[in-house]
A and B are shown apart, each in its own frame.
Chain A
Amino acid sequence: MSTNLSGKYAIVGVGQSPLGKVPEMGPIGLFAVAARNAIEDAGLTKQDVDGLITRGPDDVYCHHQRVGEALGLNVTFSTSTANGGASQTMAVAMACMAIEAGVCNTVVVGYGRDTWSRTHRNAEAKQAVASRPRTYSEFGSEFGQFGAPVNYAIAARRHMERFGTTKAQLGAIAVAFRNHARRNPHAFMQKPLDLDEYLSARLIVDPLCLYDCSVFIDGAGAVVVTTAERARDLRQPPAYVLGFGFGNRLSGWFTDDNMITTGAREAGEAAYKMAGIGPRDVDTAQVYDCFTHMVLLQLEDYGFCAKGEGGPFVASGALEAGGVLPTNTSGGQLSEGHIEGMLQVLEGARQVRREHTPDRQVKDCNIALVTGHGGNTVCQSALILGREAG
């Protein structure tokens, strides 16, 4: 037996730190600023917070304890998550579950990392990168397997050969998100990008080029989750949590056809069912975009087009402002900056709050889908936010 939590909880505050190159702040400091801003946005105070779910650099042991220490917080429920880029959407769902279970009432959820500065802050940081001991894993590094892009390049290649997907179609994703970023003053990448420039960019791991890869920046984002009942008395219009779902194909990215149809299929089906909606009801998507190809795969798996038709779908202009599915309307990780999906949670809430200026606001926005994926690419989480409770 299950209880439907749809519409019972809401995001009531959103906040972010400065984004971009912020060498004067460390990862915990960035998080603290975002959390403070989210609580202030909600019209709440530190004393109202009794839950904390965080993620940051993987080398920070018990990250939530460091964040709680910086914020002087004592709470009933707190933990750090370890599901890679699937963590942030999952953490909002975990907050709802924790409140439903009665262990807390008002939860701060967030992510922060000094991703640019940790390798560029000063001479010591640069030296540390150059001299760090490298560890190699067997069955890969012997053959030249290094870094994340190759996993997505291999998936893109398979998709291209099976369905006829093209580089220019992946380019349509990069260009659409850059166009969104140029309307967002906080986005890191403000230079115009067109398809010609995309197609002539240097290759990283073919078929992926520079503009297929997300932009590493410093920054943090946080949201406040509480009950719908409480939300109605607070400062901002609530972004109701209408649905969430998960799909974790832990058997592996290279196993079966997991890189063609991902766990996003299961995550989406569960989230839509909980919300009582389908993909046609979604007004805007905020999709985890570490690489362009993952956007295309998720659009298929979340049901916006059939499997294999992601290429023509994105090339139709669907993701642009005024398109059938304006997507990553703050610029996404490809152009606003990579904060592990947390900024996509913020943007989904902002869109259903309808707080943007008209050039950035999705018209009549009622429902936003927010997605995350990570953890060696196989973990997927989905979140559906609504302007109304149901």
Chain B
Amino acid sequence: MSEYNKPLPPPSVESEPFWDGCRRHELLVPRCDACSHHWFPATTTCPECWSTDWVWSRVSGKGKIYSFGVYHRAYHKGFADELPYALVVVELDEGPRLTTNVVGCKPEELSCDMPVEVVFDDVTDDRTLYKFKRVNDP
């Protein structure tokens, strides 16, 4: 297996539990104890009500495409072989939006509001990325 050559920024103090969840193939987002708001990425305070009481909550992983852009130029050599590739914003059913990739389909098959669900890609021994696929795709 060739060496993984795309960027993998190290987790921050606030994102480490999220990436640990990905490694277990669980999608976790912060949920406020006070107002039940879900948000992403994690911060110390709920952006809705400013409560500091919140938990990492496992979500369904289902959502829909909010929008996307298709790269026709590689800004990083790790992506040169994938052109054209789409950077996709997925809105989870619980509300938060994630920047991600949709696997198993070409950029021209994507559209806004298309239903998608999470899949996990174990890209290295210790890093797993959250990606999405079309609902009903294998």
Enumerate chain A interface residues (CB-CB to B < 8 A). 136-147, 149-150, 153-155, 157-158, 161-162, 202-208, 251, 254-255, 259
Chain B contacts to A: CB under 8 angstroms: 6-12, 15, 41, 47, 66-73, 75-76, 79, 82, 84-85, 87-89, 97-101, 107, 111-113, 129, 131
Chain A residues, CB < 8 A from B9? 136-138, 141-142
**Given A136-B9, A157-B69, do A146 and B47 touch, yes or no (CB 8 Å)?**
no
Q: Among A144, A161, A162, A259, point to the contact of B71 (Cβ < 8 A).
A: A144
Contact of A206 with B70 in the complex, beta carbons under 8 Å? yes
Do B7 and A141 have beta carbons less than 8 Å apart? yes
Distance from B32 Cβ to chain A, minimum over Cβ atoms (Å): 15
Given A143-B87, A144-B71, A150-B69, A157-B112 contact (CB < 8 Å): yes
Q: Cβ of A149: which chain B residues have Cβ within 8 Å of it?
A: 69
Residues on A with beta carbons closer than 8 Å to the beta carbon of B97 = 254-255
A143 and B89: CB pair below 8 A?
no
- Asked whether, in the complex, the Cβ of B112 is within 8 Å of the Cβ of A158, the reply is yes
Report whether B41 and A139 are in contact in the complex, using a CB–CB cutoff of 8 Å: yes
CA distance A204 to B70 in the complex (A): 8
**Is the Cβ of A254 less than 8 Å from the Cβ of B99?**
yes
**B71 in contact with A158 (CB, 8 Å):** no
Is there contact, CB below 8 Å, between A251 and B7?
Answer: no
- Decide if B8 touches A144 in the complex (CB within 8 Å): no
* 18 residue pairs from A and B, CB less than 8 Å apart: A138-B9, A138-B12, A142-B6, A142-B8, A142-B129, A143-B87, A144-B6, A145-B87, A145-B99, A146-B76, A150-B69, A153-B70, A157-B67, A157-B68, A158-B112, A205-B73, A208-B69, A254-B97
Task: Kindly list chain B residues whose C-beta atoms are within 8 Å of the C-beta of A140.
Answer: 87, 99
A138-B15, A161-B111, A161-B112 known; A146 and B69 CB under 8 Å? Answer: no
B99 adjacent to A139 (CB under 8 Å): yes
* Residue contact B69 to A154, C-beta cutoff 8 Å: yes
Instruction: Decide if A150 touches B41 in the complex (CB within 8 Å).
Output: no
Residue on B nearest A152 in the bound complex, by CB:
B69
Q: Are A143 and B67 in contact (CB under 8 A)?
A: no
* A138–B76 CB distance below 8 A: no
- B47 CB to closest chain A CB (Å) equals 7
Bound-state Cα–Cα, A202 to B7, Å: 26
> Which one of A136, A138, A141, A153 lies within 8 Å of B69 (CB-CB)?
A153
Whether A144 contacts B15 by the Cβ 8 Å rule is no
Bound-complex Cα distance A274 to B66 (A): 36
**Chain A to chain B: the 3 pairs with minimum beta-carbon distance, closest first:** A153-B69, A146-B75, A206-B70
A204 and B67 form a contact (CB under 8 A) = no
Taken together as a complex, chains A and B put the C-alpha atoms of A40 and B133 apart, in Å, by: 62
A142, closest chain B residue (CB): B129
Residue of A nearest to B82 (CB): A144
- In the bound complex, residues from chain A placing their C-beta under 8 Å from that of B87 are 140, 143-145, 150, 154, 205
Contacts of A206 in B (CB 8 A): 69-72, 84, 107
Q: Min CB distance, B88 to chain A, in Å?
A: 8
Contacts of B41 in A (CB 8 A): 138-139
CA distance A6 to B6 in the complex (A): 53
Whether A205 pairs with B72 at a CB distance below 8 angstroms is yes
- A145 CA / B89 CA spacing, docked (Å): 11
Instruction: Knowing A155-B67, A157-B112, A161-B111, say if A143 contacts B12 (CB, 8 Å).
Output: no
- 17 new A-B contacts at CB < 8 Å, known A141-B76, A142-B7, A207-B69: A138-B11, A139-B98, A139-B99, A140-B87, A142-B9, A146-B76, A147-B75, A150-B69, A157-B67, A157-B69, A158-B67, A158-B112, A161-B111, A161-B113, A203-B72, A204-B72, A255-B97
Tell me the smallest distance from the CB of B3 to a CB of chain A, in Å: 16
Docked Cα-Cα span, A204 to B87, in Å, equals: 13
Contact B99 A143 (CB under 8 A): yes
Closest Cβ–Cβ distance, residue A15 to chain B (whole Å): 36
Residue of A206, A207, A251 most packed against chain B (CB within 10 A):
A206
